[in-house]
Copies of this chain bind each other. A is one copy, B any other.
Amino acid sequence: MKLASLKSTSCRDGELCLVSKYLSTATCVSHIVPTLQHALDDWEKYEPALNLLYVQLNAGEVRDVFSFDPALMSSPLPRAYQWVDGSAYVNHVELVRKARGVDMPSNFWTDPLVYQGGSDGFLGPRDPILVPSEAFGIDFEAEVAVITDDVPIGVNAKKAASHIRLLMLVNDVSLRNLIPDELAKGFGFFQSKPASSFSPIAVTPDELTPYWDGQRLRLPLVSHLNDTLFGEPNAGVDMTFSFPELIAHAAKTRTLGAGSIVGSGTVSNLDRSKGSSCIAEKRMLEILSDGKPSTPFMKYGDKIHIEMKDTNGQSIFGAIEQEVRQS
């Protein structure tokens, strides 16, 4: 299934829609369940009816359809109760540290690094990124994320896999120049991680055969900055920790409620010819090769486009396409 949330003036959580496999048409499903959070709260109950309607939608048998327009969509979950973002591509972490001249502790290869994100309001996939100042060092981060149902405390990675209900793409907007001072205070990110945005469509794992193996999504994640290719690393390559491992890490001392979003962190391949999924990584590579960075962070008016296509060139999640503007 492919699910999206239509922006609504009457409901902050949008109106849940099914989107056809090739993203041409959509239909609202409020007669089944009003919002994606509702559906995730009781997935077993709603999934059969949604699935049936999805089959009909793809067969052209649904009457009440409209042309799918990503600009009308919010993030699949316009707000969520849990957003935990990993840093699963450890080579990226190592690189960032190297450019700073500090070693990475060896346990970073065995103990996942995650941060608790804020989730009270996500940007839609075509919403502008509003930032008070260009001096904050505006960056995108292209990632993959999963959405879980209820995950019990202490779940192991093997069992965690069965709790993955949906996948989507993320732009984890970061304000690089605020990060050093904020992390130096010791309590992690807050001001330096403003609202993230997600792909217009969230997709069930069964849709992703043969690219999804229950652990990793094995396709390139393609980022264009101002219409120029910036990176296309494969999300299934060099992902040190799988999604089930990230979930198990997050659930070590707490349950995760239905609708929890777990992110991969910036997708990054050791093969540097694949480019980068954030400006910071490119700047680190420039520092290592030239002694100083040359690619600037984003300015007002800059545009970022993030998309993942299957091997037939078909967009899976729709594109995140955002412009940076002054708030």
Contacts and interface: CB of A to CB of B under 8 A. Distances in A.
Contact of A253 (B80, B136, B256): B136
How many copies of this chain does the complex contain? 2
B257 A121 contact: yes
B81 A80 contact: yes
Interface string A153-172: 11000000000000000000
A327 B121 CA distance: 32
A190 B82 CA distance: 12
A14 interface: no
A20 B193 CA distance: 41
Contact of A120 (B87, B111, B187, B256): B256
Nearest to A130: B153
A47 interface: no
Chain A interface size, as a band, is: 35 or more
A253 B190 CA distance: 9
Nearest to A153: B327
Contacts of A131: 253
A320 interface: no
A293 interface: no
Contacts of A118: 82, 84, 116, 254
Closest 4 CB pairs of A and B: A188-B188, A120-B257, A82-B120, A81-B120
Given A120-B260, A192-B253, 7 more contacts: A82-B120, A84-B118, A108-B185, A114-B190, A131-B253, A153-B327, A187-B189
Interface of A: 12, 41, 79-82, 84, 87, 105, 108, 111, 113-121, 130-132, 136, 153-154, 175, 178, 183-195, 249-250, 252-257, 259-260, 327
